[in-house]
């Protein structure tokens, strides 16, 4: 008799979220078809396989990363098409691309945000995120220089006589970083780098070194970050 005015399970009129048995869907669209895509895919699988409490906001089984071999604005156009034609509505849409030599880098970031995507961009390259697992890098660094520094840090951590050589096509970076790197420190290093630039400075091409990959990593690995996403919906 009468109308049931109780809020639906999982919702409480915007104030809090009942997170029991809830999950978020994240779609990650990357310019890279190998190294960063394999790394993110391995990380997602690891988090999905981790047993968690009943009230923890999980990663939904639909969460995935896809690489398309397109950069900046071309990747954005690809992502817009994927979102438009998808049968699944995701809670978060991320683009992953690097500065490299792209001249439309700033414009691509701005247009992606306007279109409802978040961007895990790196200047100059995704490998900076790997390097931050071992050291704080606060001077401009090219991709080649970053890879050389990364190889040296991993070699030092492995304490092996055999030289380590980074292979962009290999799928082992997640396991290497898990064994020898420090993800928590990498997140702190990335945040420290971002804070060194003015909030009103939107010339991202000049932010070298800098990365926003840590923000994506936190959403993938931190249940509290995932809970915040649900609370905003």
pLDDT digits (tens, 9 = 90+) for 33-48: 998 999 999 999 999 9
Asked if pLDDT for residue 174 goes beyond 70, the answer is yes
CB atoms within 10 A of CB 150: 24
Pick the closest to residue 34 from 134, 210, 172, 157 (CA basis).
Answer: 172
d(CA 217, CA 43): 9
d(CA 11, CA 105): 39
- pTM, full prediction: 0.89
Region 104-111 average pLDDT = 97
């Amino acid at each position: 008799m009468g109308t049931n005015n109780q809020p639906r399970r999982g919702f409480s009129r915007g104030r809090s979220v009942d997170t029991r048995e809830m999950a978020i869907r994240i779609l990650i669209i990357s310019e890279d078809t190998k190294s960063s895509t394999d790394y993110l895919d391995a990380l997602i699988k690891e988090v999905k396989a981790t047993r968690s409490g009943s009230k923890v906001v999980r990663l939904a089984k639909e969460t995935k990363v896809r690489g398309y071999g397109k950069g900046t604005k071309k990747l954005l156009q690809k992502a817009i098409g994927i979102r438009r034609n998808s049968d699944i509505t995701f809670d978060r849409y991320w683009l992953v691309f690097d500065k490299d030599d792209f001249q439309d880098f700033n414009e691509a970031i701005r247009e992606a945000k306007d279109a409802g995507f978040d961007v895990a961009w790196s200047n100059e390259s995704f490998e900076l995120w790997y390097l931050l697992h071992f050291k704080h890098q606060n001077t401009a660094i090219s991709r080649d220089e970053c890879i050389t520094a990364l190889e040296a840090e991993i070699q030092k951590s492995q304490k092996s006589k055999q030289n380590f050589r980074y292979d962009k096509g290999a799928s082992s970076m997640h396991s290497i970083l898990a064994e020898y790197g420090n993800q928590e420190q990498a997140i702190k290093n990335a945040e420290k780098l971002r804070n060194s630039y003015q909030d009103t400075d939107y010339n991202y091409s000049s932010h070298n070194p800098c990365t926003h990959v840590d923000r994506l990593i936190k959403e993938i690995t931190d249940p509290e970050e995932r809970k915040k996403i649900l609370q905003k919906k």
